[in-house]
């Protein structure tokens, strides 16, 4: 009987840890861990995002350089849903309604547990504004930093436009 209880505990703990990890990711603004993207980067196009009427726009830059974490794809999410992906020196943008939001970035990789390679930021958006965030490599982790709005258009000129498509399961 003791062996059965011990076996149950040993097999149940990893499941509980996965549930806690998924809940932490969702609370941080990330989407489902199994979602993956294919990616194309257009290095010739550098459109400046404009906010849609009644909405705000979020622009996310990846500046991973030579420390590009195996040149993996970095997924970006908002309020619990993935909205795109980035790699190397690229950017993407999306619209959001005004209010409080959670933005998340996470490494898309089966080699690392996603919760170890994720970063998040809170954002209070106002209609008509454009917000810029930068993904940087940290010490074996990702960092997500707010960028001064005056610097955002300059970063766009030096980055390729990321076009992400969700992979079909």
Sheet holding 89-96: strands in order across? 37-42, 160-166, 89-96, 56-63, 130-137, 142-147
Minimal CA–CA distance to 46: which of 163, 158, 164, 165?
158
What is the per-residue pLDDT for 17? 43
Predicted confidence at residue 66, as pLDDT, reads: 57
Q: pTM to 2 decimals?
A: 0.82
Query: Could you count the other beta carbons within 10 Å of the beta carbon of residue 19?
Result: 10
Q: For residue 20, what pLDDT is reported?
A: 59
Gap between the Cα atoms of 120 and 64, Å rounded: 17
Q: How many residues does the chain have?
A: 169
Rg (the chain; Cα; Å) = 18
Distance CA(117)–CA(28), nearest Å, equals: 13
**Strand, helix or coil at 1?**
coil
- Could you give the domains of the chain? 2-166 (2.60.40.2890)
Q: What is the pLDDT of residue 8?
A: 33
Structure letter (DSSP) for residue 64: -
CA distances from 129 to 28, 30, 103, 104, 159 (A): 22, 22, 16, 19, 21
Consecutive 10-residue runs of the chain (169 residues): their mean pLDDT? 35 44 80 90 91 96 68 89 92 97 87 66 96 90 93 94 91
State the pLDDT at residue 111: 47
- Residue 15's pLDDT is 40
- pLDDT of 93 reads 96
148: left (phi over 0), alpha (psi -120 to 50) or beta: beta
């Amino acid at each position: 009987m003791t062996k059965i209880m011990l076996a149950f505990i040993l097999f149940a703990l990893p499941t509980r840890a996965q549930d806690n990890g998924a809940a932490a990711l969702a609370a941080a603004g990330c989407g489902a861990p199994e979602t993956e993207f294919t990616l194309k980067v257009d290095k010739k196009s550098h459109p400046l995002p404009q906010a849609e009427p009644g909405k705000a726009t979020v622009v996310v830059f990846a500046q991973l350089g030579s420390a590009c974490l195996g040149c993996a794809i970095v997924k970006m999410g908002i309020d619990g849903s993935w909205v795109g992906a980035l790699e190397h020196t690229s950017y993407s943008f999306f619209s959001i309604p005004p209010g409080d939001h959670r933005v998340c970035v996470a490494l898309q990789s089966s080699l690392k547990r996603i919760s170890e390679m994720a970063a998040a930021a809170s954002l209070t958006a106002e209609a008509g504004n454009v917000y810029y965030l930068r993904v940087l490599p940290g010490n074996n982790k990702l960092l997500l930093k707010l960028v001064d709005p005056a610097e955002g258009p300059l970063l766009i000129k030096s980055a390729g436009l990321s076009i992400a498509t969700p992979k079909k399961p």
